[in-house]
Amino acid sequence: MYPKEYINFLVHFHGDRDFFECHEILEDYWKRTQPRNKKSILAGLILLAVSNYHHRRDNFPGAGKTLKKAQQIFDENKQHLPAFGFHSDKFLNLIHEKIREIDSGKKYRYYNLPIKDEQLLNICREVCRKKGIQWGASHPEVSLKLIHRHKMRDRTEITLVRNMALKKKKGRES
């Protein structure tokens, strides 16, 4: 019914609260299934995860910018939100509330997305149970390593690819 990547996104979002992983999982899936469709709900959910990541780290400009982009996608695609298991009006109200919180400089607080589909909820809760993580904790124990994950990841491959591209570009300019 729902792709496993989407279920894993929801499990990370509501379970271990690993928003970086939410972004990674859904971005890979989005690139495979809807490449370059920056107006899709998947793109909006990726931005939502990124916004949460920034907000939790007190990066209010980054959180606001990404969530406002996501909000525009969600508003334009309101009719598609139920296909992702969401209660549309509650979902959109939550996004607007989060934007107000970010704009007013309020500290991050954990929240759950308004999932209407009971079957989806049961699947996600079962995955969490099997992983030994709690679904929907309002004050989960989250490590600093998880909060600042982008600073701690291995960027060797990314750096190599960028350096090769720069060398190639310099070779053409000579």
Q: List pLDDT tens digits, range 105-141.
A: 999 999 999 999 999 999 999 999 999 999 988 765 6
- Number of domains the chain is built from: 1
Q: Is 173 helix (H, G, I), strand (E, B) or coil?
A: helix
The range of the structural domain enclosing residue 47 comes to: 4-134+141-173
3-class secondary structure, 115:
strand
Question: What pLDDT score does 145 carry?
Answer: 58
Distance CA 63, CA 50 (A): 7
Which range among 33-37, 87-91, 159-163 shows the weakest confidence by mean pLDDT?
Answer: 159-163
Per DSSP, which regions of the chain are E strands? none
pLDDT in tens, 23-45: 999 999 999 999 889 999 999 99
Return the minimum-mean-pLDDT range out of 26-40, 54-68, 125-139, 153-167: 153-167
CATH number, domain containing residue 36: 1.10.3450
Higher pLDDT, 165 or 124: 124
